[in-house]
Amino acid sequence: MGWLDLCRISKITQQMYERISPKNSFKNVVVFLLFFFSLSLPLPLFSPNMFAKQILALSTIVAMVSAQSSSVPASSGTPTSSGVLAQTSPAWLSTVTPMAGNVQAVPSAGAAVPTGTLAAVTINTADYPTPWEVPPTNSTGVQAAIAAIDWTKVPAAPVRTANANGDLTFTGYDANADPYCWWSDSNCVKPKVDYLPSDIYNCPKPGDWGLTYDDGPLNPANPGQADQWAEPQLYDFLAAHNQKATLFYIGSNVLTFPAAGQRALADGLTICVHTWSHPPMTTQTNDQAVAQFYWTLRVIKEATGITPKCWRPPYGDVDDRIRSIAWQMGMRTIIWDEDTNDWNMPGTGGGNLSPNTVDGYFQGWISARQNGTDNASGHVVLEHELNNATVSMAEKWLPTLQTTFNVVPVHECQNISQPYWETGFIYPTEDASNATTTTSMSLAPSAAPTSASVNAASAASAGADASAAASGTAKSAAGKLAVGAFTVAAVVAGAMFNL
């Protein structure tokens, strides 16, 4: 993972959190039109009919702008175009039967969740590729997933290469033009492909701390033997501190430790995808990328019964080619905006970063929040359930974080109530939208979505979640109200001035 560290350090000043909102352009249009209208305002003083006509004209302008604004998704990080969003519930997983014993819903707020020793649960590993190897692409399931993708909507970005050290090669890529929104080179989070939503990379609300742990579930060092640092260690700690989090699972780790995945779901933690063998995904061919996603989604569904709509690229290595494939397989990309680099501490699979350095990161973030300099937005913070060092560090800082920040899963701060395709799991959100909102997403597996279902998925997905879709509906209603109000005004004006 050495290249990653160097990459992040060298790119740290290039954080590009693009905040250009399509609403701004509408605002500019409104200002321009109102200014243009105001130039002729003196005329009505001399001509009532002209005045009424101008009211009519202004009504039309406002109604048009309102209608246009109402079509803009309400939440941040949404696409600016109404292009096709091919996200549907994965039909190629419809034949996967979840193991017995899984929960069917999120535990209610404040409810006690399971802790302690995990049951012995195994998945038939013969049904899966070799753990931690790049999975083959010739299985029936992977081929079905490949066939379900509209490849005309996947950009032809080159498959990237790595040098002998495993470090990505950036030679020849124009980071300034950044044609494929390649995060590893530019930290780009706003895709150039118009139907893709922005990556989720922070919590919008200042003071929020989006708690995430990658690389789990943490298996025992020796399979089948007790390991005090393996799961459920971290999950029990979270339960004891009444804390939920977002987990990004490696498929290979789920295959060898499905009981941990079941526990996480039962504890109310949110599960997302983190690939099968943890490669830099831009080094994977299209078919290999599909296989990485397919096998991870499949093993998570078999172990836990859920199908995530979220994933995080290992090392953050994603471009629009990979985003497009992930999106068409039902997942939105989640990155981060604060990185603990905890994976690089000494430990199994770790590096040589001093734990004191990681302590310094946490202390710095806490101090910045306390002294008021961290007030622009909330954060999504990258931590790991990788080994005893990362779990220890997580446990060391969580209590202090809880007294400083509003520590929440990513979906909660992003007001995404349904992170899975299954309908039974509705998580709390900050705006409490889950209490009143239903989703228009296609929730049942469907082999070939109709244009109607694609559009329905687009409506919901473009808003990133059900709450945004609902908010968009509300805005749409408001837009119609505005149209109606100004139509009435225009009619009244017309009657008054005998137009």
Residues 152, 442, 425: CA angle, nearest 5 degrees? 125
Catalytic site residue from 199, 214, 267, 319 = 214
Please state the closest distance from residue 470 (CB atom) to Zn ion, in A.
Answer: 33
**7-15, 16-24, 209-217, 226-234 -> range binding Zn ion (CB under 5 A):** 209-217
Residue 232 as a binder of Zn ion (CB under 5 A): the answer is no
**52-60, 82-90, 206-214, 413-421 -> range binding Zn ion (CB under 5 A):** 206-214
Rounded distance between C-alpha atoms, residue 252 and residue 125, angstroms: 10
5 given a catalytic annotation: no
Q: How many residues bind Zn ion (CB under 5 A)?
A: 3
Residue nearest to Zn ion (CB): 214
Please state the closest distance from residue 390 (CB atom) to Zn ion, in A.
Answer: 11
Residue 214 as a binder of Zn ion (CB under 5 A): the answer is yes
Please state the closest distance from residue 339 (CB atom) to Zn ion, in A.
Answer: 11
Based on CB atoms, which residue is closest to Zn ion, 214 or 342?
A: 214
Rounded distance between C-alpha atoms, residue 173 and residue 170, angstroms: 6
Please state the closest distance from residue 229 (CB atom) to Zn ion, in A.
Answer: 17
Strands 208-216, 406-408: parallel, antiparallel or unpaired by DSSP? Answer: parallel
Residues 6+ apart with CB under 8 A from 416: 427, 429, 464, 465, 466, 467
Residue 178 as a binder of Zn ion (CB under 5 A): the answer is no
Residue 215 as a binder of Zn ion (CB under 5 A): the answer is yes
Rounded distance between C-alpha atoms, residue 190 and residue 196, angstroms: 8
Rounded distance between C-alpha atoms, residue 344 and residue 355, angstroms: 9
- CA 95 to chain CA mean position, Å: 26
Based on CB atoms, which residue is closest to Zn ion, 214 or 320?
A: 214
Residues 6+ apart with CB under 8 A from 218: 229, 230, 231, 233, 234, 253, 257, 260, 385, 386, 387, 391
Nearest of 196, 236, 160 to residue 82 by alpha carbon: 196
Please state the closest distance from residue 479 (CB atom) to Zn ion, in A.
Answer: 43
Please state the closest distance from residue 340 (CB atom) to Zn ion, in A.
Answer: 12
**112-120, 212-220, 358-366, 408-416 -> range binding Zn ion (CB under 5 A):** 212-220
DSSP helix/strand/coil, 359: helix
Based on CB atoms, which residue is closest to Zn ion, 214 or 374?
A: 214
Please state the closest distance from residue 129 (CB atom) to Zn ion, in A.
Answer: 18
Angstrom distances, CA of residue 326 to CA of 271, 274, 296, 309: 16, 11, 12, 9
Task: Kindly report the backbone phi and psi dihedral angles of residue 279, in degrees, each rounded to the nearest multiple of 5, phi listed first.
Answer: -90, 165
Residues 282-321 that bind Zn ion (CB under 5 A): 314
Three-state DSSP string of 166-218: CCECCCCCCCCCCCCCCHHHHCCCCCCCCCCCCCECCCCCCCEEEEEEEEECC
Based on CB atoms, which residue is closest to Zn ion, 6 or 34?
A: 6
DSSP helix/strand/coil, 29: helix
Contact by Cβ (8 Å): 118, 263: yes
Based on CB atoms, which residue is closest to Zn ion, 186 or 252?
A: 252
**121-129, 211-219, 321-329, 334-342 -> range binding Zn ion (CB under 5 A):** 211-219
Based on CB atoms, which residue is closest to Zn ion, 214 or 319?
A: 214
Based on CB atoms, which residue is closest to Zn ion, 314 or 330?
A: 314
Please state the closest distance from residue 208 (CB atom) to Zn ion, in A.
Answer: 22
DSSP helix/strand/coil, 338: strand
Residues 458-497 that bind Zn ion (CB under 5 A): none
214 given a catalytic annotation: yes
Beta bridge partners of 273: 249, 311
Catalytic site residue from 274, 278, 379, 384 = 384
Based on CB atoms, which residue is closest to Zn ion, 215 or 302?
A: 215
Q: What is the DSSP code string of 406-451?
A: EEE-HHHHTT----BSSTT-----TT-GGGT----S--S-BSS--H
Please state the closest distance from residue 221 (CB atom) to Zn ion, in A.
Answer: 18
Amino acid at 14: Q
Based on CB atoms, which residue is closest to Zn ion, 59 or 184?
A: 184
What are the respective helix, strand and coil percentages of the chain, to the nearest 5?
A: 45, 10, 45
CB atoms within 10 A of CB 194: 12
Residue 339 as a binder of Zn ion (CB under 5 A): the answer is no
Based on CB atoms, which residue is closest to Zn ion, 178 or 317?
A: 317
Please state the closest distance from residue 283 (CB atom) to Zn ion, in A.
Answer: 15
| Interface with Zn ion (CB under 5 A) | 214-215, 314
Known catalytic residues?
214, 384
